[in-house]
Chains A and B, each alone.
Chain A
Amino acid sequence: MSSLVSAATNHKQNALLATVVAEIRESFRAKWFFLYALIFGGAIILLLALGITESQVLGFTGLSRLLVTYIQLCVAILPIFVLVTTVRTVVGDRESNVLEYILSLPISLAAYYWGKLLARFLIVFLPVFLALSGALFWGAVKGLSIPWTIVGYYSLMLAALAWSFLGTGMFISTLVRKQEWALGLAFLVWLTLLLFIDVILIGVLLQNQIMEEVIIGIALLNPLQAFRTGAILLFDPELSLLGPASYVILDNFGKTGFLLYSIIYPLGLGWGFSWLGFKVFQKGDLV
Chain B
Amino acid sequence: MIKLTKIEKSFGKQLVLDSLGLEIKPGDRIALIGQNGAGKTTLIRTLLGQYTHQGLLSVFGVNPRQQRVDVLQKIGFVPQHSPPIQMSVKELIAFSDSLSAQSIIDKVRDLAAKLEFDVQQEGSKPFYKLSGGMKQKLLISLAMSRRPDFLIMDEPAANLDPPGRKAFFGELSCLPKQTAMLLSSHRVDELLPLVNRIIEMDCGRIVQDERTTDSVADGKLLNCQLQISNENEAIRKTLSSWRFSNGTEPGHYSGEVAEADRMRFFNDISHFSNHIQELNLEAS
Contacts and interface: CB of A to CB of B under 8 A. Distances in A.
Interface of A: 8, 11, 14-15, 17-18, 22, 25-26, 29-30, 96-98, 100-101, 103-109, 283-287
6 contacts: A15-B69, A18-B99, A22-B91, A29-B126, A96-B84, A285-B50
B87 A106 contact: no
A105 B99 contact: yes
A96 B77 contact: no
Nearest to B74: A106
B99 A107 contact: yes
Given A100-B79, A105-B99, A108-B69, A287 B45 contact: yes
Interface of B: 45, 48-52, 68-70, 72-73, 75, 77, 79, 81, 83-87, 91, 94-96, 98-101, 126, 139, 152
B75 A104 contact: yes
Contacts of A100: 45, 50, 79, 83
B83 A104 contact: no
Contacts of A105: 72, 96, 99
Nearest to A17: B98
Q: Which 3 A-B pairs have the closest CB atoms?
A: A104-B77, A106-B72, A18-B98
A15 B68 contact: no
Given A11-B69, A14-B99, A103 B85 contact: no
A96 B83 contact: yes
A103 B50 contact: yes
Given A98-B83, A104-B72, A285 B51 contact: yes
A100 B45 CA distance: 8
Given A100-B45, A103-B50, A106-B101, 5 more contacts: A11-B99, A18-B99, A25-B87, A26-B87, A30-B86
Contacts of A108: 68-69
Contacts of B68: 103, 106, 108-109
B142 to A, nearest CB: 9
A166 to B, nearest CB: 20
A31 to B, nearest CB: 12
Contact of A106 (B81, B85, B91, B99): B99
B83 A101 contact: yes
Contacts of A287: 45, 50-51
A98 B79 CA distance: 10
A15 B87 contact: no
B86 A29 contact: yes
B130 to A, nearest CB: 14
Contacts of B81: 97
A17 B94 CA distance: 12
A99 B115 CA distance: 26
Contact of B77 (A8, A18, A101, A284): A101
A162 to B, nearest CB: 23
B69 A14 contact: no
A30 B75 CA distance: 32
A103 B48 contact: yes
A239 B49 CA distance: 54
Nearest to A30: B86
Contacts of B98: 14-15, 17-18
A103 B72 CA distance: 9
A31 B45 CA distance: 32
A18 to B, nearest CB: 4
A283 B72 CA distance: 18
A283 B77 CA distance: 23
A97 B99 contact: no
Nearest to A12: B69
Contact of A101 (B70, B75, B79, B86): B79
Contacts of B126: 29
Given A97-B81, A109-B68, A104 B100 contact: no
A96 B83 CA distance: 6
Contacts of A30: 86
Given A104-B79, A109-B68, A15 B50 contact: no
A286 B50 contact: yes
Contact of A107 (B50, B69, B77, B86): B69
Nearest to B51: A285
B141 to A, nearest CB: 14
A284 B52 contact: yes
A43 to B, nearest CB: 28
A106 B84 contact: no
Contacts of A14: 98-99
A227 B72 CA distance: 44
A104 B48 contact: yes
Contacts of A18: 94-95, 98-99
